[in-house]
Structure 1
Amino acid sequence: MYWQLKYWRKDDRERAIDHISALRSHIAQTVPRRTASNTLLLATWNVRDFDSNKFGQGPRLAESFHYIAEVVAAFDLVAMQEVNEDMGPFEKVMDLLGPSWRYIATDVTEGPSGNGERMVFLFDSNKVQFKHIAGEIVLPKSSLVDGGHQFARSPFLVRFQSGWFKFNLCTVHLYYGDDSGEGYTRRVAEIDSIAKCLKKRADEDGQNYILLGDMNVVNPDDETMKALKKHKFILPADLTLDNDQLRWTSNMGRNKHYDQIAFLVRKGELELGPSEHNAGVLNYYKAVYTEDEAEAYFPLGKANGKWPGTPAKRKTYFTEEWRTWQMSDHVPLFIELRIDFTKEYLKRIREGD
């Protein structure tokens, strides 16, 4: 919904349109094209503190909402983490996405670990159907994390269908903790608990399960990843046999593996789409809020009182801090899945199955 830009000041309008055009071009080079019925583009994105400004780094500029909407619209279904209690800013994104887009959100998780956050699924209803099952996962007493904890933020599971593909989609924002000690132990335990829970369900009901979100996985060889894979989850790197670790790093610095997409799917129902780049990340900072734009945004952002006094320091602050509160300190991780199984179905019934 670009029409709102017509009423912006000339300088703001031109800057935003130039960035939107650059972002659209980068998306076209990075993300497979959406299809009507052949493939599903699924993504997970932790959008930093959206959008309470409780840390005093914002507020987000009007143009940022356009860029966030442009990123979401590159996909068919997006799991978004760190949406705050006040849904007003989120509704601005929905308005920009247009009338076919829907969302399903959790309530905020109570307590300090919950941080006042919601988890949300955004989806294009022309492509994805909500199948009327949704709920937050609460562990039974016998399965509590690390001796007595529920999850820091309750995982959210929703049943969807796109084309032939029916699946239960669970999004998480798991405990961050530390890289050692008790915090690390709980970090591993949360991943293990949700993976074990979904594996048990899949064994019992025979349905497809996808687990995605900010899992705070340290690296592919760490115990955090082993806790996920020991329950037979398959990850995009497994599917592509690609050893390029940069392809799966989703933090702004491109050196962490926090965000993941993992599958427990029935035989024959997990197949990547035909695009050359059918899994990876979308680094929008190649198109918007680029590293050389600190001085251009200094007049717009300096009201927060945190911008340093020299151009060199302002560039560092802009790159490492300010722009992450406009977009995020994570970039979306995505995968293209095949969802048209017509040929296989017709073959089976032709053969009498």
Structure 2
Amino acid sequence: MRPHRKPRFDYRFDLEEEIARLREHRALPSRAIPQRRDDNILIATWNLTNFGLQKRQEEHLRLMAEIMKPFDIVAVQEVADDLEQFERLHAHLEGEWRYLFTDIAGNNERLGYLYRKDRVRPTGLAAELAMRGYERRSIVIEGMEPEEAPFTGFNRNPYMVGFQSGDFTFSIVNVHLYWSNIALRRLETKALAKWAKSRIRRAGPPNNDIILIGDFNMPHVRPGDPIYDELAEYGLSLPKHTTNLVGTNLAGDSDYDQIAFFPSRTDEDFAGRMGVFDFDNALFKELWALSTGRRKKHFFQYMRYYIADHRLLWAEFKR
């Protein structure tokens, strides 16, 4: 991972005022995050942005915890080898929260989950998705010569964990697909979708409700986007969130982060509500006001270093 450059200026803020703004923003009708109920579960994904390399201060970790609190499971990406800040973030979450994470892989990243023990329990399945030789050789893209771009495995093995919440038993596969090479990203996407399709009707887990979640590095959720097309080819559905005109990156123009599943298995469990929590439209209003003209970059420098450069994406399911 390469940390963003640390801002060369100081900015002081009132923590309680910022928390109040977050709570007001997430209650807006256009952002409305559902309340926890006996019959629902809220699943989210968030790329934490070089987490453990960029030295957030305690008040920033408090704000990040506040962003995560409404949810029952948060799949996270870009967690560093050093887990000290991750453990401090966990300490700021209220309630019975637990966590799981992988070892470091490509780009020295871990993948992980934070979940509420009082709402969700692991079923016992916890594994990284690594493909065998003959499986890798079968991953080819039409029009692309295998020797030109062979699939040698995932740069960061997807991390699958089985969970149960009420009557809903499901497997989440947390991914962070390759960024800098579109051919390799397409191969990873095909491998992931093909594997998931092969598992949904198996007798043993992971099967039935398989939810792919994480940072797909997908510019747009629409036909013609190569990553979207690879997923759709195998029957995966990528519901469009209802947060109008808001992408999951800070610029708001891309849909990098996604939650995907097979309608034939999971549509009846999906509550139909899904959204982006654009915390950057609530936090640090004074800094935004001060950062006029070309100095608007100060706001974005501060946000992506001390909070994140991805927004959180969530979906509601039935339990």
Normalised-by-shorter TM-score class: 0.7 to 0.9
In the aligned structure 1, how far is the partner of 2:183 from the partner of 2:213? 21
Q: Is the 8 A contact 1:105 1:118 kept in 2?
A: yes
Residue matched to 1:32: 33
Deviations 1:5-44 (A, max 9, x none): xxxxxx96x7001001111111222243332421111111
Q: Is the 8 A contact 1:41 1:75 kept in 2?
A: yes
3-state DSSP of counterpart to 2:248: coil
Q: Is the 8 A contact 1:27 1:74 kept in 2?
A: no
Q: Is the 8 A contact 1:31 1:282 kept in 2?
A: no
Structure 1 unaligned runs (5+)? 1-10, 54-58, 178-182, 297-309, 340-353
In the aligned structure 2, how far is the partner of 1:186 from the partner of 1:194? 12
Sequence identity of aligned pairs in percent? 29
Candidates 145, 149, 152, aligned match of 2:152? 149
Q: Is the 8 A contact 2:209 2:266 kept in 1?
A: no
Residue matched to 2:287: 293
Candidates 119, 133, 150, aligned match of 1:127? 119
Residue matched to 1:305: none
In the aligned structure 2, how far is the partner of 1:284 from the partner of 1:73? 13
Q: Is the 8 A contact 1:165 1:269 kept in 2?
A: no
Structure 1 residue 294 displacement after superposition: 5.4
Q: Is the 8 A contact 1:175 1:216 kept in 2?
A: yes
Candidates 298, 304, 316, aligned match of 1:318? 298
2:213 is aligned with 1:171: no
Structure 2 letter corresponding to 1:35:
R
Deviations 1:241-298 (A, max 9, x none): x7x8735x21110101111100126547634437xxx2110000121134x41587xx
Residue matched to 1:188: 186
Structure 2 letter corresponding to 1:259:
D
Alignment of 1:319-334 (within 5 A): 319-334=299-314
Q: Is the 8 A contact 1:207 1:266 kept in 2?
A: no
In the aligned structure 2, how far is the partner of 1:166 from the partner of 1:159? 7
3-state DSSP of counterpart to 2:153: coil
| TM-score, normalised via structure 2 length | 0.84
Q: Is the 8 A contact 1:135 1:156 kept in 2?
A: yes
Structure 2 unaligned runs (5+)? 1-10, 140-148
Residue matched to 1:41: 42
Q: Is the 8 A contact 1:207 1:265 kept in 2?
A: no
Residue matched to 2:20: 21
Structure 1 residue 74 displacement after superposition: 1.5
Residue matched to 1:86: 82
In the aligned structure 1, how far is the partner of 2:74 from the partner of 2:279? 16
In the aligned structure 1, how far is the partner of 2:23 from the partner of 2:155? 36
Structure 1 letter corresponding to 2:14:
R
1:230/1:96 Cα in 2 relative to 1: closer, same or farther (>3 Å)? same
Q: How many pairs were matched up?
A: 291
Q: Is the 8 A contact 1:36 1:127 kept in 2?
A: no
Deviations 1:296-324 (A, max 9, x none): 7xxxxxxxxxxxxx9754x3332332311
Structure 1 letter corresponding to 2:27:
A
Larger Rg: 1
1:43/1:31 Cα in 2 relative to 1: closer, same or farther (>3 Å)? farther
2:132 is aligned with 1:140: yes
| TM-score, normalised via structure 1 length | 0.76
Q: Is the 8 A contact 1:209 1:265 kept in 2?
A: no
Structure 1 residue 234 displacement after superposition: 1.4
Candidates 264, 277, 283, aligned match of 1:282? 277
Q: Is the 8 A contact 1:23 1:287 kept in 2?
A: yes
1:250/1:152 Cα in 2 relative to 1: closer, same or farther (>3 Å)? same
Q: Is the 8 A contact 1:107 1:118 kept in 2?
A: yes
In the aligned structure 2, how far is the partner of 1:148 from the partner of 1:35? 42
3-state DSSP of counterpart to 1:257: coil
2:311 is aligned with 1:337: no
Q: Is the 8 A contact 2:44 2:71 kept in 1?
A: yes
In the aligned structure 2, how far is the partner of 1:218 from the partner of 1:23? 27
The alignment yields a C-alpha RMSD, in angstroms, of 2.3
Residue matched to 1:349: none
Structure 1 residue 78 displacement after superposition: 0.6
In the aligned structure 1, how far is the partner of 2:116 from the partner of 2:162? 15
In the aligned structure 1, how far is the partner of 2:39 from the partner of 2:74? 18
Candidates 241, 253, 275, aligned match of 1:255? 253
Structure with greater proportional helix content: 1
Alignment of 1:209-288 (within 5 A): 209-219=210-220, 220-221=222-223, 222-237=225-240, 246-247=245-246, 249-264=247-262, 267=265, 270-273=268-271, 278-288=273-283
Residue matched to 1:345: none
In the aligned structure 2, how far is the partner of 1:161 from the partner of 1:80? 19
Q: Is the 8 A contact 2:19 2:63 kept in 1?
A: yes
1:208/1:311 Cα in 2 relative to 1: closer, same or farther (>3 Å)? closer
Deviations 1:134-185 (A, max 9, x none): 01000111232641421111100000011111001000000012xxxxx211
